[in-house]
Structure 1
Amino acid sequence: MDSSAPTPSESGASPGPPPRLVNWELAASTAAKLTPAGPRMKAAEIRAAVDELRRLAEQSVDHVHRITGLDAARDLRDSEVLIIDRAAWSKANARSFEVMLAPAITALAEKRPDQLKSATTAVGSAITGTQMGAILSFLSSKVLGQYDPFCSLLPGGPAAGRLMLVAPNIVTVERELNVVPSDFRLWVCLHEQTHRVQFAAAPWLRDHMMEQIGELSSSLVEKSDTLGERLQQAVKAAVAATKDSGKDDGGAPGSSLKGSILELIQGPEEKAVFSHLTAVMSLLEGHANVVMDAVDSSIVPTVKTIRQRFNARGQSRGALENWIRKLMGLDAKARQYSDGAKFVRAVTRQVGMQGFNAVWARPENLPTEEEIHHPDLWISRMDLSRA
């Protein structure tokens, strides 16, 4: 081959779009087909639930502002609130996943096209759009709400983020718990609106997380020579955990699985980035839980009952659901809520909410995973005087 020959970009030819690791349109359509519609409701009941959720989402912002002291809660007009069904949630997340992966894939396509092709083959043989659709389908029936800061990167997306409340799931859970619907809906809105306020208070946070996610995905894709092998090892670990299911956790399938699929395919570099992202997610989820639990009966009259029944709900999951949750890392996410909330409560006890709010000032102020578990280390590093 003549090394002096012009490359496609030098000759003006378009290199074309980079290959895709997953067919996200197929994933979204598969999820929509597999996911049940939700609880049976009359048209008038659906309209009433949607209207109330929209009203309570707006009402909760004032409570978040009062509890957090973050002035960003005063004006959230650059982001939007959507009351959606399960299929819409799956479609929105499929698009967001593709957006989050796009920078890494585009960069790799420009620098190492052959390696990206190899990675696409390795991943494609293990994870198809149909399989990803099945995962989205499972998640779409569990998520009550979500703030998506990355949708602003989509063509025609909102200027900031998008808060989604999954109405069928909220109604399903409030019926399962037999709690007052309006109280439960406000309680959920408090948590989700706190996420919206977090990203408004720290406008750098979205780009910081995108950078970290891009670094993680780039590292995984660049190691295409071992990616297929690591994926196979992850699957084998999941199968072994299923066979070994009777040894602990009451015999729930997958109870001996030590990590999620994502954790099992990481190398040392990926683990460092994953540790940082874990700390950030623990902070965000824990802070939202603290706000959610800071309300009293004057705001949510039946809040104590809701807390008790919601916390007990996780103990009644079936064996199959427990296995899927562990395999996908959802147990780790549950721990993030708990660990992050402990961190926030410990810090605010010592330096108050205003002292804690230093965390939103810049990326360097984010806690490490070690600091999440040892709040005194973060307080010392921030040089905050104790209250």
Structure 2
Amino acid sequence: MDLFRSAQAVAGSQGDGIVDWTAVAAAAKAATPSGDLDLSTEEQQGYRTDVREARDRLRSVGEVEFDLPETIEIQNRHHWIDANIATFRRVVEPLEEQSTMFPGVSRAVNTGTMAVTLGFLGRNVMGQYDPLLLADTDSHSLYFVRPNIQRVAEQLAVDYPRFRRWIAFHEVAHAAEFGAAPWLPGYLEDRMQAVVTDLTEGSLNREAYKELNTAMTAVEGYAELLMDQAFDEEYVDLRAKLDARRKGGGPFVQLMRRLLGLGMKRQQYERGAEFFEAVADARDIAAASAVWEKPENLPTDEELDSPGRWLHRVEK
């Protein structure tokens, strides 16, 4: 970790845009140890086995058909930062058209903010299913950040191969959702673009934001239900330890979680999981999977708190 070199990269930001993305990458990586990526043959095979068996179990338990993403990578933290620069850039792109009174100062502040954000996430993200929203491609990707998975397994005092398998099941569950709902990336993109575009004009598109949040609650909740049903080992201890970890951390970690909306993400997990658990209890997992048949089957914000109303509507 070289905080001085990170600060130098931010201070030297240049270009015509509101963010110097080359400086973002340099600063984020300078402030973030890359981590070890020296995998044994056995560990490489372990990742492949975990992903393949997660796919097979999720297909069977969820009664959903899907394929694994074309790109599956085991990464260090710097690899993850590089992979996500393009994603952040696509989201921020509509803001590039805005002018500022002090472009140089604004660019440095924006560049520093993005670098801190990517650095923090790069040190904490363990796995990521990336549908490449707002990209000119239909490709999807699956990433595992090996140094973070190892570190958290040690912190939680759990067996690394078992914990690695748990992360694989979680991320492949997201692949199952997007594989079962080819319309989902476009649905999310439309609402994301509407929110970002209105923000550039100084307003919030509340309807688009509400629909985006509701859809992501369904995405997170269904994945929780599916992986809990499909995971082929005891997981109660893993769930309890991960929940405790999400609530812990020092003042900086807590601040970053609030700024990045990670508390909201946890609420999406919990609210969505409660909804789909109620649906599965009333019917079965196959009934819950009906949510991905078409956009109209997504629950409304009100239905998330009344699963019976959603069931009555989609089963008509």
SS at match of 1:359: helix
Other-structure match for 1:256 = none
Other-structure match for 1:35 = 32
Other-structure match for 1:146 = 128
1:110-125 aligned within 5 A: 116-118=98-100, 124=106
1:19-58 aligned within 5 A: 20-38=17-35, 43=38, 48-58=42-52
Give, in angstroms, the shift of residue 181 of structure 1: 1.6
- Asked whether 1:337 is paired with 2:272, we answer no
When normalised by structure 1's length, the TM-score is 0.71
Q: Aligned partners of 1:21 and 1:353: how far apart in 2?
A: 46
1:70-85 aligned within 5 A: 70-72=64-66, 75-76=67-68, 79-85=70-76
Q: Aligned partners of 2:89 and 2:141: how far apart in 1?
A: 16
Q: Give the direction of change, closer, same or farther, for the CA distance of 1:51–1:26 in structure 2 (3 Å limit).
A: farther
Q: Which runs of no fewer than 5 residues in structure 2 stay unpaired?
A: 1-15
1:172-187 aligned within 5 A: 172-187=151-166
Contact 2:177 2:219 (C-alpha < 8 Å) held by counterparts: yes
Other-structure match for 2:85 = 94
Instruction: Indicate the RMSD between aligned Cα atoms, in angstroms.
Output: 2.7
Aligned length: 302
Q: Aligned partners of 1:124 and 1:376: how far apart in 2?
A: 50
Q: Deviations over 1:272-314 (max 9, x none)?
A: 2222111111111111111222246xx22x4233223222223
Contact 1:21 1:120 (C-alpha < 8 Å) held by counterparts: no
Q: Deviations over 1:65-92 (max 9, x none)?
A: 12211022xx33x532111111111121
Contact 2:19 2:107 (C-alpha < 8 Å) held by counterparts: no
SS at match of 1:165: strand
Give, in angstroms, the shift of residue 127 of structure 1: 4.3
Larger radius of gyration: 1
Q: Which runs of no fewer than 5 residues in structure 1 stay unpaired?
A: 1-18, 110-115, 224-266
Give, in angstroms, the shift of residue 49 of structure 1: 3.5
**Which AA in structure 1 matches 2:228?**
D
Give, in angstroms, the shift of residue 326 of structure 1: 1.3
Other-structure match for 1:274 = 209
1:350 paired residue among 282, 293, 303: 282
Q: Deviations over 1:320-343 (max 9, x none)?
A: 211221122111111111111111
Runs of 4+ in structure 1 over 6 Å off: none
Equivalent pairs: percent with the same residue? 29
Q: Aligned partners of 2:262 and 2:187: how far apart in 1?
A: 23
Q: Aligned partners of 2:282 and 2:108: how far apart in 1?
A: 48
